[in-house]
Structure 1
Amino acid sequence: MNILWDFDGTLINTYPAYTRILREVLDNRISEAEAFEQLKVSFSHAFEHFQLTDKQIVRVRSEARKLQACGVVPFPGVENVLNHANKNVIMTHKERDDVWDILKYHRMDHFFADMVAGDDEFPRKPDPSSYRNLHEKHQIDLAIGDREIDIIPAKMLGIKTCLFQNHTPGADYYLKSYKDFNASFFSSF
């Protein structure tokens, strides 16, 4: 089983930090739940929803890049899933160096064979170009993400999909927690 992973909100629990940053930029005029809900759609969606100025957008992105690896954590049990895969790859809009810093800090870098990152100049999701690139190189069996936008490109390419902590219709599988993962999950492929 070869798995394509989203990074933020799927492998690493970064949304508490992103929620805090967005709220700070908006002088805490929005609730934590409201910020989280909009960020889970996408950063661009949240920026538009809250009508951020260009200056505020730059500040959010800058603060997000400054996040220290020690300030975010992997989701409990994710390493068990990574261990059961034959190959793991990442597709993220996050910058490559930031991803590797976090993975190295948490001693997870050895799990991944390849990555397409935000600074690799592929079009943003839901465009399937980055997924196609990884699929052609690694014959992806399953794409796991936490947002609908993470599974749309996989579905376009005929790759099975799994939504993590999200029950939006359209995924082939759903995982509430990696602790719920059972190796027999892979037997259905």
Structure 2
Amino acid sequence: MNILWDFDGTLFDTYPAYTKMFKQVLGDQVNSEKIYEQLKISFSHAIRFFNLTEKQIEEMDQLKNNIHPSEMIPFEGVEEVLQFANKNVIMTHKDRKGVMGILDHYGWVNYFADIVTSDHGFPRKPHTAAYDYLHQNHHIDLAIGDRELDLIPAKDLGIQTCIFQNEQINADYYLSNYHDFFKVVVEK
């Protein structure tokens, strides 16, 4: 099985670190739950939703660059799925330096045959270009993501989809945790 992975919120639980960062910039005027909810739509959506000023966006960029990879924790059980797959690829809006820093920290670089980041210049999700590139080169069987935005391109290309920790999204498979991957996806 060849799997296309989203990064933030799918392989790694990055939202708590990002929520903390937004909270630091916004202060007590917004609660953490509201920030987390908006981040689950997308990082750029949260910036627009909270109407951040240029100065606040610059502060966010500095804080983001200072997040240590140890604050980006892999989801429990995801490594077993990575080991199971014949081939893993990543498609993320994150930059390559950030992705590689986290993967290096956990010793996971060799799990991935290809990693498409914002540095590649593909249009942002839900555009299919990056997914099509990965599918053409790696014959993707399954796309896993935590948001609808992660699955739309896969659906458009006829790739099976798996939503992680978000049952409100229409997908071929639903996972609340990666320990269930083998009975939910593999055994079906």
Q: Give the TM-score category using the shorter length.
A: over 0.9
Deviates more, 1:179-188 or 1:59-68: 179-188
Give me the TM-score of the superposition, normalised by structure 1.
Answer: 0.95
Partners of 1:118 and 1:171 in 2: how far apart?
25
Partner Cα separation in structure 2 for residue 185 and residue 152 of structure 1: 19
- Offset at residue 187 of structure 1 (A): 4.6
In the alignment, what sits opposite 2:58?
58
2:174 counterpart of 1:174? yes
* Offset, 1:184: 7.0
Alignment partners' CA distance in 1, 2:40 and 2:169:
15
| Distance in 1 between residues matched to 2:152 and 2:185, nearest whole Å | 21
| Secondary structure of 2:27 counterpart | coil
- Separation of aligned partners in 2, 1:91 and 1:146: 13
* 2:173 and 2:184 in contact (8 A); partners too: no
* Unpaired runs of at least 5, structure 2: none
CA distance in 1, matches of 2:101, 2:27: 29
Q: SS where residue 46 of structure 1 aligns?
A: helix
Q: Deviations over 1:131-177 (max 9, x none)?
A: 01100000000000011100011111111111100112321111000
C-alpha deviations, 1:65-111, integer Å up to 9, x for none?
Answer: 32111222100000111111100000001111111111111111111
1:144 aligned residue: 144
Structure 1, unmatched stretches of 5+, are none
Contact 2:175 2:184 in 1 (8 A): no
Aligned residue number for residue 164 of structure 1: 164
2:81 aligns to what? Answer: 81
- Which residue type is aligned with residue 25 of structure 1? V
State the secondary structure of the residue aligned to 1:28: helix
CA contact 1:84–1:183 (8 Å) conserved in 2:
no
Paired with 2:104 and 2:17, the residues of 1 have a C-alpha distance of 19
Do 1:148 and 1:168's aligned partners in 2 also have CA atoms closer than 8 Å?
Answer: no
**Counterpart-to-counterpart distance in 2, 1:129 and 1:43:** 20
* C-alpha distance in 2 between matches for 1:77 and 1:106: 14
Identity of aligned residues (%): 53
- Point out 4+ residue stretches in structure 1 off by more than 4 angstroms: none
Contact in 1 for aligned 2:10/2:145 (Cα 8 Å): yes
User: For the structure 1 residues 81 and 183, does the alpha-carbon distance in structure 2 shift closer, same or farther, using more than 3 Å as the test?
Assistant: farther
Mapped pair 1:133 → 2:142:
no
